[in-house]
Amino acid sequence: MNFQPYVLYSHITGVLYWLLKAIEYKPDLADSINFDEYLRQFDKLDMPSVFNESNKTLLMALNRNDTIRELTFDSSGLPWFVNAQFADYLAKTKTLTLLSQFGDTLPLHPGKAVTIPNKNYSKKSHD
């Protein structure tokens, strides 16, 4: 079976979402899931809700992860998802190099100041 990469990627991150929802109702379930191994499959993460404080086991695995290079925020990536756990992750990560939402990207350089690109959104006149 031939999957398009985006479809396969969306499916895998959906699995993570439902695992986290199940753990909310049965917290000891987290002890039987190897989040370190699971997260090593990814170089991109599209789930700002993983930074919820209730996901302690996953947050610890995220902080140990060395494969995730990009965080993507879709329509659910609104400002109220930014919290202390997300800020800690950004401050500690050694591998994250890109934040993106709807095609806008912000390159990160771990250990260095973030430079926000200056985009010119004005219309250009056509002569």
d(CA 6, CA 72) in angstroms, rounded, equals: 13
Least confidently predicted of 6-15, 59-68, 81-90: 6-15
Residue 3 pLDDT > 70:
no
Q: d(Cα 60, Cα 34) in Å, to the nearest integer? A: 11
Q: What is the dihedral of CA 97, 99, 48, 23, to 10 degrees?
A: -20
Q: What is the mean pLDDT of residues 3-8?
A: 40
pTM of the model: 0.64
Positions of E strands within the chain = 44-45, 70-72, 98-101, 104-107
**Rounded Cα–Cα distance for residues 26 and 116 (Å):** 41
Return the higher-pLDDT residue of 48 and 36.
36
| 56-64 vs 84-92: helix crossing angle, rounded to 10 | 20
pLDDT digits (tens, 9 = 90+) for 25-44: 898 888 888 989 988 888 88
